[in-house]
Amino acid sequence: MTAVQALAEHIAEYNDLLNTMNILRWDMRTKMPPGGANTRGMQLATLTRHAKRHFVSDKTAKLLDAAESETALVDADPYAARAIAQTRAAYELQKRIPAALVGKLAELGPASEAAWASAKAASDFATFQPYLEQMLALNIQLADAIGFSDQPFDALVQQFEPGMTAARLGALFGELRAGLLTLLARITAKDEPLPRDLWAQEYALGAQRQLCHEFAALIGFDYARGRLDSAPHPFEVSFTREDVRITTRYDLHYLPMSLFAALHEAGHGLYEQNVSPRLTRSALTTDFIGQYAVGGTSYGAHEFSSRLWENQIGRSREFWALHFGRLRRAFPAQLKGIDAALFHRAVNRARPSLIRVEADEVTYNLHIMLRAEIEMALLDQSLAVADLPEAWNAKMQDYLDLTPPDDARGALQDVHWSAGTFANFPCYTIGNLMAAQVFAAAHTAMPDLPNSLARGEYGELRDWLTREIYQHGRAYSSDELLTRISGESLSTAPLLRYLESKYSALYGLN
C-alpha cells in the first residue's frame, strides 16, 4: 500500500465517525422523542472526542508527512495533491484549538440555547445576556487560538468560508447595500397589497407533502439515494452521495413555507448527490482524502446551490407558469380564481420586515449584513453584549426603516449565537451572490437555457452544474470555481442585475 492510500484509509475512518454523528443528528432533528435529548448529547460528545483524537493524532501527522513526500503518485492524480494540502491545513487548524476549549463550548451549548429559547419566548434579553457573554468570550478565545492578523472575525470565518475576511466582506457589503437600498426604495414606492390574501385558507398537510415530494423530484432530487422528511428547522445532511437526507416544514396556512424549504433543501441535496463517485467513501480512491466531510467546498458554496434552485428557479415566473396547475389540482377550492401570475407575485412581494427567515430576495441580504456587522463588533469588543439590542434596533432603522417592537422580533430572533456559532451569517449572502453569478455564467455557456427552463427541463442546468461545480466536491475553492466559470471571483454585480431585472418586471419599475 502506498503512503497516500494509507492516509486515505485513516481519513476514511474519520469520515465514518463524522457520518455516524450525522446519522445521530438527523435522527435527533426528525424522529427522536424529547426524552432522548440528554443521552443523545452524551453520545455526540463521546463521538466528537473520538473523532478529534483520531484526526489530531501523531498517526495523522506521520501519514501526512509520508504522503506529502510521495509526489510521483500525487502528480498522476488531479485531486490528490489538493486533497493532501487541504488535509494538512485542516490538521494544523484543528491542532491549534485546545480540546478543553472545544469541551467548554460543547458544554455551554445546551444551557445557552435553552436560555435563549426562554428569553425569546418572554422577549427578555437580560436573562440571555450572561450566557451570550460567556459564549462570546469562548469564541474570542477560539479566534485567538486559530490566529488572525486583522480581526478576530477573520479567524472564525475560516471554519465556514476559507479565504474570506471581514475587510473583503465589508467591500462586498458596501456595494450590495447601496444597490439594494436604491432598488428597495423604488419597489416600496410601488408596493400595494395583493387583491386577495392567499394564506388565509387552510392547505391540507397531506397534499402539501405530496407537492413537496414532486417539486424536489422535478429539479432532479433522486429518491433512490435520498429521503424527504419533516423537521421543525429544515436542513440537509448526507452520509454519502448515495444517502442524502432533506427535510421541510409545514404550515397549515402559509403554503410557501413547505414548498420553498423543500426546493431549498433539495438544492443542497443536488450538490451532495452529484459529487463524483470517485470522491466517496465507497470508492476509497486517493481522491477521497480531502472529502471526509463530503459535499460542497464551503458553507457559502453549498448555499449557492440551495438558493439557485429555490430562488432563480423556484421563484421564477417560468416555474409557476408551468407548475401552478399542480397546486390548483391539489387545492381547487383554496386557489379558485387565482392564476400563476398572481401566485408568482404573492411569493415574491418585497417589503421591509422584521424577521430574517421570512424576508424576500431584496431585503434578505440587509438582514445578513446587520448580523455580520454586529458579530464583527462583538468579537473585536467594540460593542458590549449589553448594548446589542440597541445596536440591532439602530441598524434595523437605518437599513429597513423599522424598529422591532420587542427583542423577540429583534436581537433574540436567531439561534446561531446562543449555539456558539459566530461568523457564519455571511455565508447566506455569499450563497446568494454566488447563485446569481453561477446562474448568469450558465446562461452565457448555454444560450438555449431559458427555453429549456421554460419547458421545465432542468437536466441541462443540473448537468452543467455537476460538470462545473458539484462533481468536484471540496477539491476547488469557491473563488476558483467562480473564476473558472465566470472569469472573476465573488462579485455583487450579477445579483444586483438579477434583482433589478426580476423586480422591474414584477413591479413595473423604470
CB of 237 to Zn ion, least distance (A): 11
Please pick, among 70, 161, 236, 265, the residue that the annotation labels catalytic.
Answer: 265
Nearer to Zn ion, 286 or 306 (CB): 306
Write out the three cell numbers for 63: 501519514
**Which of the ranges 32-40, 129-137, 299-307, 328-336 carries the binding residues for Zn ion, by CB under 5 A?**
299-307
Nearer to Zn ion, 306 or 437 (CB): 306
* Number of residues located near Zn ion, criterion CB under 5 A: 1
**Which of the ranges 190-198, 300-308, 315-323, 331-339 carries the binding residues for Zn ion, by CB under 5 A?**
300-308
Whole-number Å distance between alpha carbons of 275 and 110: 34
Please, which of residues 77-116 interact with Zn ion by CB under 5 A?
A: none
CB-closest chain residue to Zn ion: 306
- How far the first Cα of the chain sits from its last, in Å, is 66
Whole-number Å distance between alpha carbons of 356 and 88: 37
Cα 149 to the center of its chain, rounded Å: 27
Measured between alpha carbons, how far is residue 395 from residues 280, 314, 354 in Å? 44, 31, 12
Nearer to Zn ion, 306 or 418 (CB): 306
Whole-number Å distance between alpha carbons of 28 and 41: 10
189 Cβ partners below 8 Å, 6+ apart? Answer: none
What are 63-71's contacts with CB under 8 Å, separation 24+?
63/3, 63/6, 63/7, 63/10, 64/7, 64/88, 64/91, 66/3, 66/6, 66/7, 67/3, 67/4, 67/6, 67/7, 67/289, 69/3, 70/2, 70/3, 70/4
Of 238, 273, 297, 306, the residue at the interface with Zn ion (CB under 5 A) is 306
Rg of the chain on CA atoms, in Å: 23
CB of 219 to Zn ion, least distance (A): 15
**Which of the ranges 124-132, 302-310, 312-320, 332-340 carries the binding residues for Zn ion, by CB under 5 A?**
302-310
Question: Using CB under 5 A as the criterion, what x/- string covers residues 151-180 for binding Zn ion?
Answer: ------------------------------
CB of 267 to Zn ion, least distance (A): 8
Nearer to Zn ion, 87 or 306 (CB): 306
**Which of the ranges 86-94, 184-192, 298-306, 326-334 carries the binding residues for Zn ion, by CB under 5 A?**
298-306
Contact 371, 383 (CB under 8 A): no
In the chain, the amino acid numbered 476 is Y
Nearer to Zn ion, 151 or 306 (CB): 306
Contact 374, 395 (CB under 8 A): yes
Nearer to Zn ion, 334 or 424 (CB): 424
Question: Using CB under 5 A as the criterion, what x/- string covers residues 336-365 for binding Zn ion?
Answer: ------------------------------
CB of 312 to Zn ion, least distance (A): 14
CB of 212 to Zn ion, least distance (A): 16
202 catalytic? Reply is: no
Rounded to 10°, the helix 125-146/364-379 angle is 70
Write out the three cell numbers for 438: 453561477
CB of 427 to Zn ion, least distance (A): 9
**Which of the ranges 240-248, 306-314, 383-391, 463-471 carries the binding residues for Zn ion, by CB under 5 A?**
306-314
Nearer to Zn ion, 306 or 486 (CB): 306
Whole-number Å distance between alpha carbons of 484 and 486: 6
Can you name the residues that pair with 238 across neighbouring β-strands? 244
432 belongs to the binding site for Zn ion (CB under 5 A): no
- Give me the residues that bind Zn ion (CB under 5 A), please: 306
Tell me the catalytic residues: 265
